[in-house]
Amino acid sequence: MTNISWDEFEKVELRVGTIVQAEEFPEARRPAYILHIDFGAELGIKKSSAQITNHYQSEELVGKQVIAVVNFPDKQIGPIMSQCLITGFYDKNGEVVLAVPDKPIDNGAKLG
């Protein structure tokens, strides 16, 4: 484990968004979805790739709120430009389980 300062942590912008579209991402090396996430009026809708196909069906993702890092530089992933990093945890099989708020919250809300 590497310790970071509070100032370093404050630079990471974690925000809540609602998935408005989830589609198959056949060009991905590992099975994945392309997610379109609404982060509210300030940030709008951003895209991300997520390797979460083992635990989630695309239909059940629409309407789900997620927590994402929104201030990393955009990253090219195959044919899409990922604009945020969806957060999650690896289960005992190495598959991602999404980190989500346990109550509804406004899109764009910052982790505070």
**CATH number (domain holding residue 74):** 2.40.50.140
- Tell me the residue range of the domain where 23 lies: 13-98
Task: Decide if 28 contacts 49 (C-beta within 8 A).
Answer: yes
Is 82 a member of any domain? yes
Is 80 a member of any domain? yes
CA 35: distance to chain centroid?
8
Tell me how long the chain is.
Answer: 112
Cα separation values, 48 from 2, 4, 23, 104, Å: 27, 26, 11, 21
At residue 112, the pLDDT reads: 75
Is 105 a member of any domain? no
Please give the structure tokens belonging to residue 24: 């198959």
Is 107 a member of any domain? no
Alpha carbons 12 and 35: distance in angstroms, whole number: 21
Query: In a 3-state reduction of DSSP, which class is residue 92?
Result: coil
At residue 92, the pLDDT reads: 97
Is 112 a member of any domain? no
* Count of domains forming the chain: 1
Is 92 a member of any domain? yes
At residue 85, the pLDDT reads: 97
For the entire predicted model, the pTM comes to 0.93
Angle at the Cα of 108 (from 106 to 12), degrees rounded to 5? 135
Positions in the chain short of pLDDT 70? none
Is 75 a member of any domain? yes
Is 4 a member of any domain? no
Strand partners, 90: 96
At residue 29, the pLDDT reads: 86
